């Protein structure tokens, strides 16, 4: 016999097999809210992790022009290419044991790659990118130290139980904040809104997410944070204020042209991998 518990999860009270199933897999009326906390799946990232990385530190950036500049300056060297239909190029900073790679857009791509990197030995990760501000008073280039993300996507629900938000490890976030404070780097702390539908950021959703405390909208943080919390490694993210989605008309604010901010942010994250 099927029953609904207080959380809306469907349970089967008729068999011992169903009792065992409930220990890991919780059914729900809506598939995205079903959760299975078993640690292994049919396909695991370890199947693709043949050769471990020689370090446990990595920066994931969304700034391709910074990677090109660092290559021209010979400040990064190619570490390897992870093959597949969408090859992943991994670089290593010439003067340190920190790796650098270009992030892929969206939680399934970026978070999935992060899970693979962890299987290859990565344990300390800093993410840097840009996002759309939900408050026009957040100027272009203003840094957000991410403390969590509103989970308006699907990927993170495969790693953690359903909840409104997913939060970064407070200890990791505090260590990043302490470093920024010591070096007098201006920033704000707060939530992002992670969406997987770029063209469905409607005015009603924007107002709702702003009311929940989100500062910036982006497409990766809920997934990446969920992977880090599920696998148990250090993850931090710095996102700078980019385009403006808070007004009646979208404004790019020429955010992709802020090359100095973007270059410096990659270097900052490189240093922060040693702090987390």
pLDDT tens for 95-115 read 999 999 999 999 999 999 999
- If you search the block for the tokens 């970026």, which residue do you land on? 110
- Tell me the average pLDDT across 127-133: 93
Which class for 88: exposed (0-12), middle (13-18), buried (19 or more C-beta within 10 A)? middle
The pLDDT mean for the chain works out to 89
Query: Residue 72, SS3?
Result: helix
Whether residue 11 has pLDDT greater than 50: no
Nearest to 57 by CA among 106, 122, 9: 122
**Domain 53-272 class, CATH top level:** alpha beta
Alpha carbons 186 and 184: distance in angstroms, whole number: 6
Nearest to 71 by CA among 55, 90, 88: 90
Say how far residue 110 (Cα) sits from the centre of its chain.
Answer: 7
Determine if the pTM surpasses 0.85.
Answer: yes
Nearest to 134 by CA among 183, 204, 227, 49: 204
Structure tokens at 237: 């993210």
Structure tokens at 117: 């990197």
- Tell me the average pLDDT across 184-208: 95
Whether residue 247 has pLDDT greater than 70: no
Q: At what angle do helices 64-72 and 259-272 cross, to 10 degrees?
A: 80
pLDDT in tens, 13-29: 444 445 445 568 888 99
CB 161 within 8 A of CB 203: no
Whether residue 257 has pLDDT greater than 80: no
CATH 3.40.50.1580 positions along the chain are 53-272
């Amino acid at each position: 016999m099927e029953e609904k518990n207080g959380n809306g999860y469907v349970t089967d009270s008729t068999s011992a097999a169903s009792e065992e199933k409930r220990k890991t897999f919780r059914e729900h009326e809506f598939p995205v809210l079903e959760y299975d906390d078993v640690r292994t799946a049919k396909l695991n990232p370890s199947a693709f992790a043949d050769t471990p990385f020689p370090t446990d530190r990595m920066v994931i950036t969304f700034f391709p022009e910074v990677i090109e500049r660092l290559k021209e300056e010979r400040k990064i060297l190619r570490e390897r290419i992870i093959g597949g239909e969408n090859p992943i190029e991994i670089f290593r900073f010439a003067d340190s044991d920190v790796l650098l790679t270009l992030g892929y857009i969206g939680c399934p791509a970026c978070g999935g790659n992060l899970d693979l990197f962890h299987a290859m030995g990565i344990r300390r990760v800093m993410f840097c990118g840009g996002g759309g501000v939900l408050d026009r008073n957040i100027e272009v280039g203003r840094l957000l130290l991410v403390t969590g993300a509103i989970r308006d996507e699907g990927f993170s629900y495969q790693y953690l139980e359903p909840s409104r938000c997913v939060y970064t490890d407070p200890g990791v976030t505090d260590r990043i904040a302490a470093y920024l404070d010591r070096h007098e780097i201006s920033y704000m702390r707060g939530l992002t809104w992670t969406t997987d539908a770029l063209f469905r950021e409607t005015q009603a959703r924007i107002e709702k997410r702003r009311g929940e405390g989100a500062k910036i909208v982006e497409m990766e943080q809920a997934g990446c944070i969920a992977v880090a919390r599920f696998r148990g490694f250090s993850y931090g993210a710095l996102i700078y204020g980019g385009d403006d989605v808070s007004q009646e008309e979208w404004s790019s604010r020429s955010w992709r042209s802020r090359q100095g901010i973007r270059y410096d942010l990659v270097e900052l994250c490189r240093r922060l991998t040693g702090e987390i």
